[in-house]
A = this chain, B = another copy of it.
């Protein structure tokens, strides 16, 4: 087939799928509204953002920048009115919040408690904010065993210690048996904006390089296999970790040439790239063959018919770096423990604006859109 024909077909798909501000028309909440895909986007853009309209939320960063006292604030989209942020004062602070409902609460490589710390620490880290303190609010199911609670509390304490943050405030509620599943946790993180860069989901520019801090899709696969819904036994452990050391290394290496960072959680790398391409009105092009995926993960994904690009990560970030700083940033990232497999996986183009394209291993190019459904509910 001629290049012209292929380009025409891509252009058709682009016209059909180009993102518009979502409208929330559903009559009931479905699992898809929590999955980080299209339904989540319409819930956020169609209902939550308009209701709470302010500059912080509209920015949709990972820990928003919002008007404080002579101050800035920022915010991120998960399936949320922005995952993050407040800043007040001269130096600048960031706020971010997340609820954790992962099932099961313990899985290879991690636990709900560990995610609750690392997930919120990471929303701060990718916003370029050094994590200072967390709050913790628990919803417990009547009948939860004290031993399970004790273990989760210890995981929370240990993860906080590893990440170098204190739990400074908290709350506990109990609901009747059957009105929660063991326990849910909500953490909110306060961080100090790092002066080495001014990151923004709107800052991506054509030519920027896309880095990923390690092999993808491990967290989502580990949780899914832990549910025993599939007769599949694979040695896959969650990647949950604090991403502040990785963010710190990137800030140090690239400084103002670091445009934006994002942790690729719900909806995976595909969803994070789509959000940022929309926010910056650029195209993100991914070279599929460059994306690191561990063999066990790739095999499990193929057996289950799931694209690893859509599978959640909890300890991986995407970084967008000006081309002249990309090689140095990648080297700095690879020197961080846990990021040895960091890779450059693509670049930013001008058109088609708001879209993500993938150069496949077979020489084709396809659109990588937001998912409409929910392949992996309750993943964090």
Contact = CB atoms under 8 A, between A and B. Distances in A.
Contact of A176 (B85, B140, B377): B377
A309 to B, nearest CB: 22
Contacts of A147: 27
Nearest to A85: B169
B96 A169 contact: yes
B174 A64 contact: no
Nearest to A379: B173
Given A24-B146, A179-B181, A169 B133 contact: no
Number of copies: 2
Q: Which of the listed residues A31, A137, A181 has the most CB atoms from chain B within 10 Å of its own CB?
A: A137
A190 interface: yes
A58 to B, nearest CB: 11
Contacts of A43: 172
A97 B171 contact: yes
Given A145-B27, A146-B29, A188-B97, A171 B136 contact: no
Interface in A11-61: 24, 26-35, 40, 43-44, 47-48, 51-52, 54, 56-57
B169 A48 contact: no
Q: Is the interface of A mostly helix, strand, loop or mixed?
A: mixed
A168 B29 contact: no
A78 B139 CA distance: 13
A201 to B, nearest CB: 14
Given A186-B99, A188-B95, A175 B181 contact: yes
Interface of A: 24, 26-35, 40, 43-44, 47-48, 51-52, 54, 56-57, 63-64, 66-69, 73, 75-76, 78-86, 88-89, 91, 93, 95-101, 132-133, 135-147, 149-150, 153-154, 156-157, 160, 166-176, 178-181, 184, 186, 188, 190, 192, 377-378
